[in-house]
Every structure is written in structure tokens, then in C-alpha cells.
Amino acid sequence: MKILVCVKQVPDMESRFKPDGSGTWFEEADLAFRMNEYDEYAVEQAVQLKEQLGNEPEVTVLSIGPDRVNEAIKKALAMGCDRGAHIQDPAPQGKDPWQIASIITQFAQGEGFDLIFTGMQSQDRGSAQVGVLVAELLGFACATTLVGFAYADGVITAKRELEGGIKGIAKLRLPAVVTCQLGLNIPRYPTLPNIMKAKKKEILAIPVADLLKEEAVASTARFYPPARKGGGIVLEGDVGNLVEQLYGILKEKTTVLR
Amino acid sequence: MKALLVCEYREGKLLDSTYELLAFADRLGAEKAMFLIGSDSALPACSTTVYLADAAKHGEYNPDVHKKLVLDAAQRENADCIVFVHSSYGWDLAPRVAAALRAGQVSEIVGIVDGGYEVGCCNAKMRRTVVPKSGKAVLTIQAGAFSSSDTPQGTPRVERIDTADGASPMEFVGYEPAEKKDVDLTRAEVIVSAGRGVGKKDNIPTIEALAKALGGELGASRPVVDAGWVDHSHQVGTTGQSVSPKLYVACGISGAIQHLAGMKKSDFVVAINKDKDAPIGEVADVLVVADVMQFVPALTAKLQ
Ligand SMILES: Cc1cc2nc3c(=O)[nH]c(=O)nc-3n(C[C@@H](O)[C@H](O)[C@H](O)COP(=O)(O)OP(=O)(O)OC[C@H]3O[C@@H](n4cnc5c(N)ncnc54)[C@H](O)[C@@H]3O)c2cc1C
Ligand SMILES: Cc1cc2nc3c(=O)[nH]c(=O)nc-3n(C[C@H](O)[C@H](O)[C@H](O)COP(=O)(O)OP(=O)(O)OC[C@H]3O[C@@H](n4cnc5c(N)ncnc54)[C@H](O)[C@@H]3O)c2cc1C
């Protein structure tokens, strides 16, 4: 079995974001980047499946982006993926989900994957499109928002998370794409020996121009902070003072202090 | 502009989000038609055309077939945009329709702005204006972002649609009901919730102590539950409980839309966050900018 996991590198969401010169994205300079949280679950599920099948499957991890995305690829390799594919794109941010999906599809077509894992969405953009688009372009079965995954004899039993705590159960035949939701599993931490081992694993480097055949179908016109609606009070300063201030406010504005 | 609005139907019922689609189309100033895979006994109250396919035949979740039916209706209606709610049904089906039409999709729209659609990004800290570049567009709207105060009324004109092509590599097995809750947060007057910002499982008792000092219950954001620090019965949000206490205290919670959906009806919201820009500030009556593990014990001590 051949498995592909797609990982995106995103800025740490605790960062302070400001628009860049073009006004269509964020200024990258001061940001720390990490693997998209949803994709950690995708990597973990792929590695768990490999282990379940006696390590027979080969797991490839792919990321599109500038050189920094190698960090995300290396993390996935240290978690147990076998080889990496870095699609070198100095400006992935200028591409829409359709283009990102078509790049992944081009790569996958030459490889003959049976199963592809993606996150259900990215933390920075959150389109929740790429995985499903890849499935459609490849003609694979697809289920989204998995909080449960089981595999036996060419069939995946997928537990999808619906609203209000209800789950939907579906069975999919391979080849398939599944998109992973938070809580699907408990992603492992890469151990030091595995980080060392990962250094020896192959990472293909492929220029994006070799795989990009599609024009964008959507574009970002503007990137900006939301208008502040909240008339809420912001308290800052010494903790002792903050406690006194908040206590006073709670006494005045609520009925919960007795 | 003509909009085809894709309604949702689950466990034999039309979902209320249908009316959010109508509100969105009105804001857009679009001509409307609706699409439903459901039944005659659960039609939306509206005065537009409804393209109706039979859920008994085509299933409630069967995206490969639902896609074909949506495409059929979109073609008959010659729709310029096809609109879904950004829900487990919508985000699953919309990209399939977009791929078939090679149309641009704009996901989780929160507003309509000059020349495009406004969407959130970077965990709701920022916004983007997105413009579809294709002739037709696929749109998903954020749940709760568009609503109308008018009571829905009218009787739709039903156009039946069907397909003989039921082929799919997927089989829907059924629903699993939500877990029974052993904690009923909906009755709590005070909820103090722990988010990822509390740092580690060992810090949860500190948050619990504040809840106790305020005579309330412990709540939690999803990552805290997923990591096993707190049981799922305490989770607040779209995939947890919806609460409306007199006081909600969010400790180290960023304020993602899925969390806000579960607590924004609270009477009074206090957020404790080291990040002044955290989106929780949007709904907080008071945002205390502080380290949660320093501030919370001090507040608890003051209350005791
Ligand atoms: C200046 C600028 C302009 C932009 N303009 C546009 C624009 O016009 N239109 C637009 O739609 N977007 C635009 N973007 C953002 C764009 O690059 C998105 O990141 C990309 O389209 C993927 O969408 P998403 O992250 O929402 O994917 P989602 O569909 O939310 O991602 C789901 C999953 O797909 C996989 N995935 C996503 N991206 C990658 C990747 N790079 N490598 C490997 N796997 C991946 C991951 O498994 C992820 O979990 C712009 C960004 C910038 C900086
Ligand atoms: C379909 C779907 C359904 C979901 N359902 C839910 C749901 O029901 N409920 C839910 O909560 N989420 C849900 N989520 C997840 C949601 O999108 C967010 O990922 C989640 O709410 C984030 O939790 P958080 O705020 O605790 O963590 P983070 O977003 O990581 O935020 C942590 C916050 O803590 C602050 N912080 C860090 N350290 C400190 C410190 N020392 N002192 C003070 N502050 C600190 C940071 O500034 C940050 O704002 C869902 C997601 C999806 C896609």
C-alpha cells in the first residue's frame, strides 16, 4: 500500500499578524511557523495504519511551500513517515486551494497512492477544500472531518463528526482521501532517536512549475484586521491590581458574588 | 445574479440553517432558488422554487450522488452561485461541486463587502476579502453569520429532480447519537473554562478551584478535551455544549468561532489571556491581559 500525507506549514496562531506591503497577506518576517494542527492528526493516522499493517505501507509526506516547510516535513518524518516530497514554491500563499489541490494531484498521479490523508482545514486559511478537491480530481472516494478511522481489507470505516456531538459512520473503498479533524488520535511527539533517524530519510525536491498546470479560480483582494465591535474593557498591569479591578467589576455588573 | 441555495436535511428534518441561506441571498440581492434532498413533508417555508430530490432514495449523506443532483439543479436554474452552509454537510459537498464546475470556492463567508466576500483567517484574528475569478462560484457561509428577523413564510414551488446513477465508492452506515452528558453545563450560573493557554493537565485543578470559588462548573475548550485533560462532557462549543450562564470566564482560550458559538449567549464574559489581540476580546465584557496561571490563583484567593 502507498500512502500520502499532505501537510501545510502555518504561522503560530498566537502571533501578532499585520498585513504585508501588498495588503493581501501577512508580513512573514517575525512569525514562527509550525505544522498545521489538523495535519498532525493526519500524519499520526497514516503512521498508525502503517504500523497496523506490519510496516508494509510506504508513507510519503508532501508539503508545498518555501524552504521553511522542510521543518514540517522533517517533523512528519520523525513521527514515522518514510520519505518526504518538498514541492518548492517560494509563494504558495498566492495560490488558491484549487491550484494547491491540482499540484498535489499531479504529484500523486505519478505515484499511484492508495490512500491520502489531509487535515480537514488549515489554521490560517481554513478553506476546508484541498483534500476534497484532490479526491475529486483523482476520482477517489472521500470522507471529511474524521474523528474515527479503522481499516480492514481495502475498506475504511470513517467516523465523521457532525454538529452537536452526533457522528456519521461511512464505509469507503480504496483508493480514498480522508480529511482529519482535531481529536482523531493523539499525535506522538518525535523522540530524539527518531529525529536522528529522520535526518537520513529522503526528501524529494520538486520545483512547483513542474506540477502546476492550473490557473487560480479565486483571489485574495485584501487582508486586514477585523473591525473591533466589542465595547469591552481591557485590563492590563500588575496582577494584584487586576484582581481588585475585576472583583469590583463583577460586584457591580453581575449577581454572582455573594 | 441567481443563487442556488443548498438546504440541509438530517434524520428526517429540515435544518433551520436553511433560513440563513435565504438571509444571505437577500443580502446579496440575488434571485433565489432552493435545493433540498429531503421529503415533501419537510419543505422550507419560502416562496421560491425548491428543487427536491428524495432522501429516502438518495440518502442523507451520499456526496457522490448529491453532487450530481446539485449540478443538475444548478444547470437547470442557470445559477451564478451555489451556496452552502459551512457545516459538516456543506464543507464536504461544496468542493466536490466546485471541482466539477472548475469554479472558485469561497469558504466560510462572514460578510459581503464591496467587490467580494469577507472571510475570517488566522484563527479569526484577521479577515480577507476573497474574489472568485470563475464565471460561476461556490460559496459557503459561516453558521450564524447571516440571519433574518422575519418569520419564514410561503409555500415553495416544487421541481422534482432525480438520477438513476447511484454509483458511489462510499456507503453511509448510519448515525451515532451524541454521548450522554454527566455534567449539564446548560444549567450552570457560572462557568469557568480552561483553554490550551492553561498549559498542562496539572494546571486544571487551579481553574477548577476558581470555578468552585464562584459556585460554578468547569468548562473547557476542545484542545483541552482532545488532549484528555478534561472530560468531553465539559466541552463548550459547536461540538460540545451551548451555554448561557450569568458569568462565563474563559481562561487561556483564543476565541475560535466554534468555541464562541457555544458561549456567546452568556450574560457576562470575562476573558483571561496574555494576548491582547485574541479574538475572544470581541465577545468579552472584560479582557484581563495576564498570565492565566498567575492571575487565576490570585483571583481565587481574593474570593475565598
Ligand atoms: C498573498 C496571498 C494571496 C493569497 N491568495 C489566495 C487566493 O487568491 N485564493 C486563495 O484561495 N488563497 C489564497 N491564499 C492562501 C493560499 O495559499 C492557501 O493557503 C491555499 O490555497 C490552501 O488553502 P487552505 O490553507 O485554506 O487549505 P485547506 O483546504 O483549508 O487545507 C486542507 C488541507 O490541505 C492540505 N494543504 C493545504 N495547503 C497545503 C500545502 N501548501 N502543502 C501541503 N498540503 C497542503 C493540508 O493537509 C491541509 O490540512 C493567499 C495567500 C497569500 C499569502
Ligand atoms: C468542526 C469543528 C468543530 C469544533 N468544535 C469546537 C468546540 O466545540 N469547542 C471548542 O472549544 N473548539 C472547537 N473547535 C476547535 C476550535 O477551532 C479551536 O481550535 C479551539 O477552540 C481552540 O482552543 P483554545 O482557545 O483553548 O486554544 P488556542 O486557540 O490554542 O488558544 C490558546 C489561547 O491561550 C492564550 N494563552 C497561552 N498561554 C497563556 C497564558 N500563560 N496565560 C494566558 N493566556 C495564554 C493564547 O494567547 C491563546 O489565545 C472546533 C473546530 C472545528 C473545525
> Which residues contact ligand 1 via a Cβ below 6 A?
A 6-8, 22, 24-25, 36, 38-39, 42, 62-65, 92-97, 100, 118-119, 121-122, 125-131, 216, 218-220
* A59-75 per-position pLDDT tens digit: 999 999 999 999 999 99
- What are the start and end residues of each CATH 3.40.50.620 domain in chain B? 2-160
Q: Answer whether residue A230 shows pLDDT above 70.
A: no
Looking at residue A28, its pLDDT comes to: 86
C-alpha cell at A129: 477544500
Q: Could you give the CA distance from residue B102 to residue B138 in angstroms, rounded to a whole number?
A: 10
Residue whose Cα lies nearest atom 11 of ligand 2: it is B221
Looking at residue A26, its pLDDT comes to: 85
C-alpha cell at A75: 517533523
Q: Answer whether residue B180 shows pLDDT above 80.
A: no
Looking at residue A93, its pLDDT comes to: 67
Tell me the CATH class for B185-303: alpha beta
* A11-28 per-position pLDDT tens digit: 998 888 888 888 888 888
One-letter amino acid at B189 equals E
User: How many CB atoms within 10 Å of residue A224?
Assistant: 15
Q: What's chain A's average pLDDT?
A: 94
Q: Could you give the CA distance from residue A202 to residue B206 in angstroms, rounded to a whole number?
A: 46
Looking at residue B286, its pLDDT comes to: 97
How many percent of chain B have pLDDT more than 70? Answer: 100
Asked if residue A175 has a cis previous peptide bond (ω within 30° of 0), the answer is yes
B2-160: CATH topology: Rossmann fold (3.40.50)
* A231-246 per-position pLDDT tens digit: 689 999 999 999 999 9
C-alpha cell at B10: 438530517
Q: Which domains does chain A have, with CATH numbers?
A: 2-210 (3.40.50.620)
Looking at residue A231, its pLDDT comes to: 65
A255 closest CA partner among B162, B214, B243, B35: B214
In a mutational test of the pocket of ligand 1, which residue from A100, A116, A144 has the highest number of ligand atoms less than 8 Å from its CB? Answer: A100
Q: Could you give the CA distance from residue B108 to residue B19 in angstroms, rounded to a whole number?
A: 16
Looking at residue B151, its pLDDT comes to: 87
Read off the pLDDT band of A117 (50, 70, 90): very high
Q: Answer whether residue A94 shows pLDDT above 80.
A: no
Tell me which chain B residue has its CA closest to the CA of residue A126: B121
Mean pLDDT of A181-202: 96
Q: Answer whether residue B44 shows pLDDT above 70.
A: yes
Counting ligands in written order, the one closest to the CA of B143 is 2
Partner-chain residue, chosen from B116, B178, B285, that has the shortest CB–CB distance to A232? B285
ipTM entry:
0.89
Least confidently predicted of A99-108, B124-133, B258-267 = B124-133
How many percent of chain B have pLDDT more than 90? Answer: 87
Looking at residue A22, its pLDDT comes to: 84
Judged by a CB distance cut-off of 8 A, whether residue A94 touches chain B is: no
- What are the start and end residues of each CATH 3.40.50.1220 domain in chain B? 185-303
B222 marked ligand binding residue:
yes
Least confidently predicted of A44-58, A215-229, A234-248, B164-178 = A215-229
Mean pLDDT of B50-60: 96
Report the predicted TM-score, pTM, of the whole model to 2 decimal places.
Answer: 0.89
Q: Could you give the CA distance from residue A66 to residue B126 in angstroms, rounded to a whole number?
A: 23
Looking at residue A228, its pLDDT comes to: 67
Mean pLDDT of B143-160: 91
In chain A, which ranges are continuous DSSP H helix?
37-52, 70-79, 97-111, 130-138, 192-198, 239-253
* B87-140 per-position pLDDT tens digit: 999 999 999 999 999 999 999 999 999 879 999 988 888 899 999 988 899 999
* B128-149 per-position pLDDT tens digit: 999 998 889 999 999 989 988 8
Q: Answer whether residue B35 shows pLDDT above 70.
A: yes
